[in-house]
Amino acid sequence: MWHQKQITLPARSRGFHLITHAIVESLPELQNINIGLLHIFIMHTSASLTINENADPDVLVDMEASLNQIAPENFPYIHTCEGPDDMPAHVKSSLMGASITVPIQSGKLVLGTWQGIYLCEHRNHASSRQLTLTIHGEVF
């Protein structure tokens, strides 16, 4: 079985935002999958997706700080027409990635005990974000 849909996440502040619940809530079809994969793709170039720890919020603060060191706003970028946070956001998005794939087993996402799916918002004043969710799997 194949199933695909797009969802819109509301605008969020810069940083890492747990979106696991929003994804699962938007996909009642997951309950019908015995074994399969969920592919999540973000349709933007200044935000990204990742799977990381969902227990200690300090991890997310450290992730943001680390990315800011790798792609600082004060670097002499050439592409600056959309503000000082735009080009660093593109760099961070490329480093983190535009998609993730999560296994599905017995109607549920297979994530580790401390894992969650995160929207990584790299802009200071972002807009809503579009995700394409694609399920491929064997139905019960």
Q: What pLDDT was estimated at residue 116?
A: 98
Q: What pLDDT was estimated at residue 102?
A: 98
Dihedral sign of CA atoms 76, 80, 85, 89 in order:
negative
98's enclosing H/E stretch is: none
- Distance of alpha carbon 114 from alpha carbon 52, whole angstroms: 8
- Distance of alpha carbon 13 from alpha carbon 65, whole angstroms: 15
Dihedral sign of CA atoms 14, 19, 22, 26 in order:
positive
Could you tell me the residue ranges of all domains in the chain?
2-139
For every one of its 140 residues, what pLDDT tens digit does the chain have, with 9 covering 90 and above? 999 999 999 999 999 999 999 999 999 999 999 999 999 999 999 999 999 999 999 999 999 999 999 999 999 999 999 999 999 999 999 999 999 999 999 999 999 999 999 999 999 999 999 999 999 999 99
Who contacts 37 (Cβ-Cβ below 8 Å, separation ≥6)? 101, 102, 103, 104, 135, 136, 137
Q: Which CATH class is domain 2-139?
A: mainly beta
SS3 state of residue 29: helix
Q: What is the dihedral of CA 75, 80, 83, 89, to 10 degrees?
A: -60
